[in-house]
């Protein structure tokens, strides 16, 4: 579904992404891990067109999307949620989701009918149901709890009915219990929607339990990839990333 | 969905109230007050579509007020157009101007957008001042605006002019209401709240801003036309930066988060002006103090304050629903 070939990106001489080649199968659930500054978020920024790669190709279902505008890439079916929830503070949850759905349906400039359009409202309601946000439908985005804000951020991306969904640290800033609830929700929507899902995560317990495949980035390159078990026992990974917590206990996630 | 009918009903009611004023033989001073209020009200209301709904703080909005006024006045003085034709022509000219100015300005954000609109306004103002043979320079469009009859309507008659302006005013307010309650209106709110995220939902932010800019300019242009009809002339100060500033004052005085806030602000500003002017020549001093109190004391318009109370109550209700649901879930889980 999504293939990265020899991606390179430098910022003023500092290489953030060096020759990354990765393949994400259709309908897979993958995790990207790596220490701070490994280039994980940069990789998401490249895929979503925040900035173009210096060289290399990004293939979405075989079509090269490298260098296209962010807006075009979104329309082609890559959705993204952010590390720090990026919301519309003065819209309620149901308004925000209906507004996102109308953008997806190319109806964001409709002047004749009142907001929300019946079809977009239904679409939004389905997402609220899926993410368990129905109970906060009438609450302004800025008044939501941290966890609900992260869920709404994912919901906005889901409104685009993406083929590929990128989640940048969906559990960032959450307590242990809340993390597991969040990751269960992520798994649930991945099964419900059958899309290709890629998430960045620091909590190793979550990564190894949930992901089908794990990619490890370090200093902008791919250090290792494979199933959770393969990655866990990979000596390079143990040395470079898991370091001191590698022997047996994998609970210590690096600080977000 | 039912709110659509409620809004239309309120618009109709507003129009009836406006039309009742001459029926009850209100003194000319009151009628004049309302006419000025409608012209400047459209200026402030249309500006709030940019400031309040889209987060685009324009310092140059009065240039479109003046564009409508001058285009209409010049078309009528040429003697080649009927009033409806000149009306359409003036709005068309305003729209074209907004399209050009907007295409350059809306790409910029915040202070850069504000200053560029201010710069275009000063350019336009100086064209009006400098092109004496065409615009009359600092004297304005002299010799009155001819008002030939059309469709049996005679705008030279004060009452008919009043009715015409009231209808045009209410139609414009209804159009603005339609814009802000439509899907497009919610796209504007998304852009105001979080432009980057809006772009990330596939919205063409620049085009939406430009469309909003043009719609808003056209409504301001209608305000300028009404004022020209009313004072039978057009003057450079219609397009001076102080007029833009006054419109921003009106929004501050009323409230930017309530649909009719700027209109309330228009009434407050004109009342303050008319009352203080009969006691003192220092009206600006009084206005300045009122603005200071609002900005430092309330930090928002009086109508905003009411709207906030209302919103807080609704939020409390919505949060009660959540808390009840969470309690249920906790019970079911344990």
Contact between chains at B184 and A109 (C-beta distance less than 8 A): yes
Instruction: Delineate the domains of chain A, giving CATH numbers in brackets.
Output: 2-87+144-246 (3.40.50.300), 88-143 (no CATH)
- Determine which of B40-49, B134-143, B228-237 has the lowest per-residue pLDDT on average: B134-143
Q: A139 to chain B: which residues are within 8 Å by CB?
A: 315, 318-319, 322
pLDDT at B223: 96
CB proximity B183 to A under 8 Å: yes
Minimal Cβ distance to B193: which of A74, A90, A104? A90
Minimal Cβ distance to A114: which of B1, B194, B325? B1
Residues 6+ away with beta carbon under 8 Å from B97: B63, B64, B67, B124, B217
Judge whether residue B192 has pLDDT over 90: yes
State the pLDDT confidence band at A204, using cuts at 50, 70 and 90. confident
DSSP assignment letter at A245:
G
pLDDT at B272: 85
pLDDT at B31: 87
The structural domains of chain B, with segments of one domain joined by +, span 2-240
State the pLDDT confidence band at B182, using cuts at 50, 70 and 90. very high
Helices B28-48 and B158-181 cross at an angle (nearest 10°) of 20
Residue A22 distance to chain B (closest CA, Å): 24
- State in Å, rounded, how far the first CA of chain A is from the last one: 29
Contact between chains at B182 and A74 (C-beta distance less than 8 A): no
CB proximity A20 to B under 8 Å: no
Minimal Cβ distance to A115: which of B181, B196, B204? B181
- Tokens 């105001």 belong to B192
Contact between chains at B203 and A136 (C-beta distance less than 8 A): no
Contact between chains at A109 and B317 (C-beta distance less than 8 A): no
Q: How many CB atoms lie within 10 A of CB A137?
A: 17
Comparison of pLDDT for A206 and B221, the residue scoring more: B221
d(Cα B278, Cα A77) in Å, to the nearest integer? 65
State the pLDDT confidence band at B156, using cuts at 50, 70 and 90. confident
CB proximity B196 to A under 8 Å: yes
Sheet of A196-200, strands arranged across: A78-81, A164-168, A196-200, A29-33, A213-218, A221-226
Averaged pLDDT for residues B122-135: 89
Averaged pLDDT for residues B305-334: 83
CB proximity A74 to B under 8 Å: yes
pLDDT-above-90 percentage for chain A: 33
Judge whether residue B137 has pLDDT over 70: yes
Taking a C-beta distance cutoff of 8 angstroms, is the pair A77, A63 a contact?
A: no
Averaged pLDDT for residues B155-181: 91
Averaged pLDDT for residues B25-50: 91
pLDDT, one tens digit per residue, over B226-238 is: 999 999 888 999 9
Contact between chains at A87 and B204 (C-beta distance less than 8 A): no
Judge whether residue B55 has pLDDT over 80: yes
Residues 6+ away with beta carbon under 8 Å from A159: A97, A100, A101, A103, A104, A123, A124, A127, B201
pLDDT at B288: 84
- Determine which of A201-205, B261-265, B294-298 has the lowest per-residue pLDDT on average: B294-298
pLDDT at A17: 87
- Give the ranges where chain B is alpha helix by DSSP (H): 2-23, 28-48, 62-78, 83-105, 110-130, 132-135, 158-181, 183-193, 195-200, 205-231, 241-254, 261-277, 283-292, 302-333
| Closest to A178 measured CA to CA, from A147, A201, A153 | A147
Taking a C-beta distance cutoff of 8 angstroms, is the pair B187, A109 a contact?
A: yes
Report the residue of B2, B180, B202, B319 to disrupt the A interface, i.e. the one with the largest count of A CBs within 10 Å.
B202
Sheet of A14-24, strands arranged across: A14-24, A2-11, A55-60, A63-64
- Tokens 């925040």 belong to A50
Averaged pLDDT for residues B187-211: 93
CB burial class (10 A; 0-12, 13-18, 19+) of residue A189?
Answer: buried
Evaluate the omega torsion of the peptide bond into residue A116 and state whether it is cis, within 30 degrees of 0.
yes
d(Cα B163, Cα B167) in Å, to the nearest integer? 6
CB proximity A233 to B under 8 Å: no
User: What are the tokens at A114?
Assistant: 């009142």
Residues 6+ away with beta carbon under 8 Å from A92: A137, A138, A139, A140, A141, B318
Q: What is the pLDDT of chain A when averaged over all its residues?
A: 86
pLDDT at A241: 65
Residue of A nearest to B179 (CA): A111
The phi and psi torsions of A7 (rounded to 5 degrees) equal: -75, 135
Report the residue of A51, A88, A147 to disrupt the B interface, i.e. the one with the largest count of B CBs within 10 Å.
A88
pLDDT at A253: 42
The phi and psi torsions of B320 (rounded to 5 degrees) equal: -65, -40
- Determine which of A48-52, A136-140, B280-284, B323-327 has the lowest per-residue pLDDT on average: B280-284
pLDDT at A247: 47
Taking a C-beta distance cutoff of 8 angstroms, is the pair A87, A153 a contact?
A: yes
The phi and psi torsions of A80 (rounded to 5 degrees) equal: -150, 140
pLDDT-above-90 percentage for chain B: 48
Minimal Cβ distance to A86: which of B4, B179, B197? B197
DSSP assignment letter at A82:
-
Comparison of pLDDT for B200 and B216, the residue scoring more: B216
Comparison of pLDDT for B25 and A152, the residue scoring more: A152
d(Cα A228, Cα A57) in Å, to the nearest integer? 27
Residue B233 distance to chain A (closest CA, Å): 34
d(Cα B107, Cα B113) in Å, to the nearest integer? 8
d(Cα B186, Cα A149) in Å, to the nearest integer? 19
Residue of B nearest to A157 (CA): B201
Window A:156-175, CB contacts with B under 8 Å: 156, 159-160
d(Cα A184, Cα B223) in Å, to the nearest integer? 56
The phi and psi torsions of B310 (rounded to 5 degrees) equal: -60, -45
Averaged pLDDT for residues B144-155: 83
Residue of A nearest to B323 (CA): A135
Judge whether residue A250 has pLDDT over 50: no
Taking a C-beta distance cutoff of 8 angstroms, is the pair A98, A124 a contact?
A: yes
pLDDT at A249: 45
pLDDT, one tens digit per residue, over A112-139 is: 888 888 888 888 999 999 898 999 999 9
Taking a C-beta distance cutoff of 8 angstroms, is the pair A160, A184 a contact?
A: no
Give the pTM: 0.88
User: What are the tokens at B135?
Assistant: 């615009």
Q: B317 to chain A: which residues are within 8 Å by CB?
A: 138
State the pLDDT confidence band at B332, using cuts at 50, 70 and 90. low
d(Cα A190, Cα A79) in Å, to the nearest integer? 13
Q: A116 to chain B: which residues are within 8 Å by CB?
A: 183, 186
| Closest to B234 measured CA to CA, from B217, B244, B246, B221 | B221
Residues 6+ away with beta carbon under 8 Å from B274: B33
Averaged pLDDT for residues A1-16: 87
Contact between chains at A160 and B202 (C-beta distance less than 8 A): yes
Contact between chains at B184 and A108 (C-beta distance less than 8 A): yes
């Amino acid at each position: 579904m999504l293939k990265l070939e020899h991606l390179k990106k430098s910022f003023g001489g500092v290489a953030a992404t060096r020759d990354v080649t990765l393949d994400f199968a259709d309908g897979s659930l993958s995790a990207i891990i790596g220490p701070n500054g490994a280039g994980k978020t940069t990789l998401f920024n490249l895929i979503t067109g925040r900035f173009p790669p210096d060289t290399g190709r990004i293939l979405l279902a075989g079509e090269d999307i490298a260098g296209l505008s962010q807006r075009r890439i979104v329309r082609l079916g890559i959705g993204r949620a952010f590390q720090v929830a990026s919301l519309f503070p003065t819209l309620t949850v149901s308004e925000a989701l209906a507004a996102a759905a109308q953008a997806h349906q190319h109806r964001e400039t409709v002047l004749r009918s009142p907001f929300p359009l019946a079809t977009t409202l239904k679409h939004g309601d389905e997402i609220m149901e899926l993410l368990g946000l129905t109970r906060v439908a009438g609450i302004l985005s800025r008044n939501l709890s941290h966890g609900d804000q992260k869920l709404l951020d994912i919901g906005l991306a889901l409104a685009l009915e993406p083929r590929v969904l990128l989640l940048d640290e969906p559990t960032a800033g959450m307590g242990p219990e809340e993390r597991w609830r969040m990751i269960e929700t992520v798994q649930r929507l991945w099964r419900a929607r059958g899309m290709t899902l890629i998430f960045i995560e620091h909590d190793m317990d979550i990564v190894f339990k949930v992901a089908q495949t794990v990619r490890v980035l370090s200093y902008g390159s791919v250090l290792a990839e494979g199933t959770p078990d393969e990655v866990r026992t990979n000596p390079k990974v143990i040395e470079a990333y898991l370091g001191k917590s590698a022997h047996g206990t994998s609970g210590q996630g690096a600080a977000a | 969905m039912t709110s659509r009918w409620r809004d239309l009903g309120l618009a109709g009611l507003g129009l009836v109230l406006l039309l009742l004023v001459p029926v009850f033989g209100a003194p000319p001073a009151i009628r004049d007050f309302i006419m000025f209020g409608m012209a400047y009200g459209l200026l402030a209301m249309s500006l709030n579509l940019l400031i309040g709904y889209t987060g685009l703080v324009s310092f140059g909005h009065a240039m479109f007020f003046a564009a409508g006024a001058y285009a209409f006045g010049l078309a009528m003085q040429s003697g080649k157009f009927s009033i409806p034709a000149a009306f359409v022509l003036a709005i068309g000219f305003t729209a074209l101007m907004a399209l050009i100015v907007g295409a350059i300005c809306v790409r910029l954000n915040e202070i850069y957008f504000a200053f560029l609109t201010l710069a275009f306004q000063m350019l336009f103002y100086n064209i009006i001042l400098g092109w004496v043979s065409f615009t009359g320079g600092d004297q304005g469009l002299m010799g009155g605006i001819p008002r030939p009859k059309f469709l049996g309507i005679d705008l030279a008659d004060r009452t008919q002019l009043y009715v015409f302006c009231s209808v045009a005013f209410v139609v414009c307010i209804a159009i603005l209401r339609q814009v802000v309650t439509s899907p497009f209106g919610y796209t504007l709110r998304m852009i105001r709240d979080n432009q980057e995220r809006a772009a990330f939902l596939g919205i063409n932010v620049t085009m939406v801003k430009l469309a909003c800019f043009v719609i808003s300019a056209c409504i301001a242009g209608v305000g300028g036309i009404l004022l020209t009809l009313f004072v039978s002339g057009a003057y450079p100060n219609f397009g001076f930066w102080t007029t833009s500033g006054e419109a921003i004052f009106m929004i501050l005085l009323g409230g930017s988060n309530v649909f009719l806030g700027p209109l309330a602000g228009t009434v407050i500003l004109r009342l303050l002006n008319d009352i203080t002017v009969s006691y003192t020549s220092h009206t600006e001093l009084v206005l300045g103090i009122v603005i200071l109190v609002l900005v430092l004391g309330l930090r928002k318009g009086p109508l905003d304050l009411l709207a906030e109370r209302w919103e807080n109550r609704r939020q409390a209700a919505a949060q009660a629903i959540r808390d009840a649901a969470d309690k249920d879930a906790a019970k079911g889980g344990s």
